[in-house]
Structure 1
């Protein structure tokens, strides 16, 4: 058994033996048992994965407690920072949704109708290529195989259809 295996075994034994105390330390800082458990778990993994020279740790139990305490403090600070950044959910419910007002909905509906009409003006193959690519998620290669045309022609037909739809939208405004 090498020194690293001995360290891992010692950490395992200490975490098992002192789990309740470590959890209590994290809880005192965080005020939440579930988050305290998460911190203990994260500290355990971090200590095992730490590339530092583990033979220099003279008091492993003190090292574990300090690691849990530091991670709990970091977690607490992060949660306080995030609370300051984000408003509560209730405040967010009072904000009007500017994307779903009746006039915006009508404008989008009119634009969609114009695009449908513009697609109807296109030749069948051009419209079908556009639909396969933009609506059904086909790749250009898949479209080329299905319609038995070249990939470059597929690319040209997609651009032709998009340009035609853009022109139909710009005529409206």
Structure 2
């Protein structure tokens, strides 16, 4: 036999008031956070009051605990998912920015000076191929067409210039 909606709502409110702390503890066991547990109990109350089909529930208190448990598990899983999803972004916030540091600026200037000196020692064609590749973003084919050389030679010259510059920086 189905009881009137007003009676069911009154019984439900009474069950929530009487068992609020137990429902909250049930959520806390899953979430480990009292504030979230309060939110879960409130969400459970709203969810139950919006559904009229539960008027036929034989054990309303057990049903309430099950709803609280399910909502708490959902919140816990969502928290884990969000933590994993945003972890890599947040890790980036704590990495020291080296660009504005005086030591880094001095080292970068020294490296640029060494690179300029290293490039000055290269034959003109090798230097031109390297600059087209590294600075202008040309492909091997574009360099070969521009300088009227083979792509193999362009590759060899890029490799020679790169090795020469690495050697200067590693000294």
**TM-score, length-normalised on structure 2?**
0.51
Aligned residue for 2:26? 25
**Two-structure CA RMSD over aligned residues (Å):** 2.4
Name the CA distance, whole Å, in 2 between partners of 1:26 and 1:77: 13
* Number of residue pairs the alignment of both structures matches: 97
Deviation of 1:88 (Å):
6.6
Q: Distance in 2 between matches of 1:87 and 1:3?
A: 50
User: By how many angstroms is 1:90 displaced?
Assistant: 5.3
User: How far 1:80 sits from its partner (Å)?
Assistant: 0.6
Residue 94 of structure 1, CA deviation:
3.8
- Can you give the 5+ residue segments of structure 1 that lack an aligned partner in the other structure? 103-173
Unaligned runs of 5+ in 2: 101-171
Displacement over 6 Å in runs of 4+: none
2:4 paired with 1:13: no
Aligned-pair CA distance for 1:54: 2.5
Q: Which whole-Å CA distance do the structure 2 matches of 1:84 and 1:5 have between them?
A: 45
* Distance verdict in 2 for CA 1:64–1:22, change over 3 Å: same
Q: Is the 8 A contact 2:26 2:69 kept in 1?
A: yes
Q: Contact (CA 8 Å) 2:48, 2:54: kept in 1 or not?
A: no
CA apart distance, 1:96 = 8.2
The two structures have a TM-score, normalised by structure 1, of 0.51
